Amino acid sequence: MAKNFDAMEDSNRSANPSIHEVSDPARRRVLGGGLAGAVTALLAPLAAPVQAQGRGSALLGFQSIPVSSADTVAVPPGYRVQVIAAWGEAVGLSGENPAFRFDGGNTAAEQEAQMGMHHDGIHFHRHPLTPDDPSTGLLVMNHEYADDGLLHPDGMATWNAAKVRKAQAAHGVSVIEVERKDGRWDIVRPSPWARRITASTPIAVSGPAAGHRLMQTAADPTGRRVLGTLNNCGSGITPWGTYLTCEENFIFYFRGPQQPSAHEARWGLRPGDPVGYRWHEHDERFDATRHPNEPHRFGWVVEIDPSDASSMPVKRTALGRAAHEGATVAVTRDGRAVVYSGEDARFEYIYKFVSRDRIKPGGAGVSAARANRELLDHGTLYVARFDADGTGRWLPLRHGEGFLIPQMGFADQGEVLIKARQASDALGGTKMDRPEWIDIDKDGWVYCTLTNNSNRGPGAYDTDAANPRGNNTMGHIIRWKERGDFDGERFQWNHFVLAGDPRQAREEARGNVRGDAFACPDGLWTDARGVLWIQTDMSTSAMGRGDLANLGHNAMLAADPRTGEVRRFLTGPAGCEVTGATMSPDGRSMFVNIQHPGESPSERSDPVNPRRISNWPDQRPDGRPRSATVVITKADGGLIGT
């Protein structure tokens, strides 16, 4: 039930599309000459730089695979797949090694020592003791949400505090130590780095909103100590060795008042009980009618040091509050950190944060993580505006400037950050088609997946230059290059690709993919060779029908950023999405997360028949589908993608 809360989110009703209404040539064509013609006219010039290049990328050496409807992970000839770290595997805490129970019968305490559900963003962190050894390291990964139909033997037929606690334990982040032996990867148990961070783990708050009156609750009058991190979707890494986990659809865990305030409505808080979750019945902090500030304590980017299992994670409020999909770090030429982040909800925004200070090296017994422990607390947050002429601007969310003043509801910088959506509305940021992951290629282009937006079009917000298709079922990837350096306040932009399927009758669903058809790009990651990996998240309610009829299961594709060629590399099991990718430092083992295999269109599993849609990866007669990490290697031991 929980999964496509992001697709439900549509709370941006601000009236700030003025720039596009007056100057967007695509919009004028729509109004004057019909939608199909407008889309065709728009695609040609934007796609030209990509399409002018030759075919047959030298970067992509593997054989494309077909779409699939099989309950398995398929990869190209010459590649192998191994499954590790499925939901319920013990992470390797000292003295705790609970086995997974296929009947769903593990306790909350056992779940706290096991891999969470619904794997998402992932990173291979070099081993703290042997950083040059590519056969060992730490895998750090997110667990986005829980499917209570799979998590408990009877699903939600009965409900109690122990079930809430188990669901909270299935959320968050895992750190596991892994090593390769005889060609196979395995979890090292026990490991001093093994860790579970859950929806109940104490987490510090730092930056301008720390201690703010809007962050204070009865349980935490300081406003500086939150229990847990929620709905951890995409992730990022910093040059100083930490992991950034991003809180996405946090609002759907909260019970809302019968008449939400304008502020609460802008953040999607709905009257009454949350759809899907029943945490508030046994954990009152999720009842926003009693604790209206508790939702302010989620929606942050959280920094974790995987090399120190005793370190407390930190919510970095300077990066702004949003339904954060991911966080991607670039470095300016003078050594400051720039963090890009999208907010995955319909008509929400793309942000970047520029640090005030330069990144410090570690040394003399001080780790780089420790040397930079305040780096993300000082700097400037911007929202993106994409103009119709192919340029764009970063608009600073700076208290005291323009509309960001007390009379407009922004008492101070903390309130600007807590209400980043309203601040972006006031500044006139561009409302996007659900910004998901962001990454950067070797030429300095920054790419953002815009997964889809079925509400785009007349009646809601119409198309604009950056979001050019009405009823955008297929999604697109936008890219920009900063003017000057990554801290630049102006940029140029174009569309890397409009996803689609040329066999579709509906013009807006065809796209301009050079290579294998795909839809709903979500995960995005550039590897060390420069391959842009694209992961898809077609929702289970739309998969296999309509515009998506020919596309089978969700998949991962590889793109050459310079030629625009796209080639299908992996297809997932039934009902899954493919999300999160990383490699060992030698580029010979790729780790990819398979999330929610077996998800039904209702998005909650039936505990009576959990195997109805998928039984991946175990395929046991008494099994149930489990999110897991797959390791992909080449049979000849070669580099992934060649």
- Cα 153 to Cα 7, 150, 160, 574, 609: the distances in Å are 28, 7, 13, 22, 11
Assess contact for 479 and 521: CB atoms under 8 A. Answer: no
Assess contact for 26 and 463: CB atoms under 8 A. Answer: yes
Report what 508 binds from Ca ion, ligand FEO, none; CB cut-off 5-8 Å by kind.
Answer: none
Element (H, E) at 358: strand 350-358
Report what 577 binds from ligand FEO, Ca ion, none; CB cut-off 5-8 Å by kind.
Answer: Ca ion
Report what 248 binds from ligand FEO, Ca ion, none; CB cut-off 5-8 Å by kind.
Answer: ligand FEO
DSSP-assigned letters across all residues of 425-445: HHHTPPPEE-EEEEEE-TTS-
Taking CB under 6 A as the criterion, the residue among 233, 354, 369, 574 binding ligand FEO is 233
Phi, psi (rounded to 5 degrees) for 227: -90, 110
Q: What angle do CA 48, 580, 66 make, to 5 degrees?
A: 60
DSSP-assigned letters across all residues of 223-284: S-EEE----EEEEEE-TTS-EEEEE-SGGGGSBB-SS--HHHHHTTPPBBS-SS--GGGT-G
Please give the structure tokens belonging to residue 118: 């619904």
Binding mask 125-164 for ligand FEO (x = CB under 6 A): -------------------x--------------------
Please give the structure tokens belonging to residue 558: 């590889």
Q: Does 247 interact with Ca ion (rule: CB under 5 A)?
A: no
Report what 343 binds from ligand FEO, Ca ion, none; CB cut-off 5-8 Å by kind.
Answer: none
Q: Does 348 interact with ligand FEO (rule: CB under 6 A)?
A: no
Phi, psi (rounded to 5 degrees) for 125: -95, 130
Report what 110 binds from Ca ion, ligand FEO, none; CB cut-off 5-8 Å by kind.
Answer: none
Q: What angle do CA 477, 548, 510 make, to 5 degrees?
A: 55
Q: How far is the CB of 573 from ligand FEO (least distance, A)?
A: 18
Taking CB under 6 A as the criterion, the residue among 436, 516, 599, 603 binding ligand FEO is 436
Binding mask 517-536 for Ca ion (x = CB under 5 A): -----x--------------
Q: Does 537 interact with Ca ion (rule: CB under 5 A)?
A: yes
Q: How far is the CB of 570 from Ca ion (least distance, A)?
A: 16
Nearer to ligand FEO, 199 or 214 (CB): 199
Q: How many residues bind Ca ion (CB under 5 A)?
A: 3
Taking CB under 6 A as the criterion, the residue among 177, 264, 325, 464 binding ligand FEO is 325
Please give the structure tokens belonging to residue 308: 């120190």
DSSP-assigned letters across all residues of 441-486: -TTS-EEEEE--BTTBSTTSB---SSS--SSB-S-EEEEEEESSST
Q: Which of the residues 493 through 522 are near ligand FEO (CB under 6 A)?
A: 522
Report what 144 binds from Ca ion, ligand FEO, none; CB cut-off 5-8 Å by kind.
Answer: ligand FEO
Binding mask 562-591 for Ca ion (x = CB under 5 A): ---------------x--------------
Q: Does 343 interact with ligand FEO (rule: CB under 6 A)?
A: no
Q: Does 599 interact with ligand FEO (rule: CB under 6 A)?
A: no
- Cα 263 from Cα 419, distance rounded (Å): 8
**Sign of dihedral through CA atoms 274, 275, 281, 286?**
negative
Identify the residue whose tokens are 């009965």: 158
Q: Does 147 interact with Ca ion (rule: CB under 5 A)?
A: no
Taking CB under 6 A as the criterion, the residue among 1, 2, 6, 296 binding ligand FEO is 6
Q: What angle do CA 603, 609, 615 make, to 5 degrees?
A: 80
Taking CB under 6 A as the criterion, the residue among 71, 112, 294, 344 binding ligand FEO is 344
Q: How far is the CB of 436 from Ca ion (least distance, A)?
A: 5
- Cα 81 from Cα 14, distance rounded (Å): 47
Nearer to Ca ion, 415 or 436 (CB): 436
Q: Does 599 interact with Ca ion (rule: CB under 5 A)?
A: no
Q: How far is the CB of 344 from Ca ion (least distance, A)?
A: 6
Q: How many residues bind ligand FEO (CB under 6 A)?
A: 8
Q: Which residues bind ligand FEO (CB under 6 A)?
A: 6, 144, 233, 248, 325, 344, 436, 522
Q: Which residues bind Ca ion (CB under 5 A)?
A: 522, 537, 577
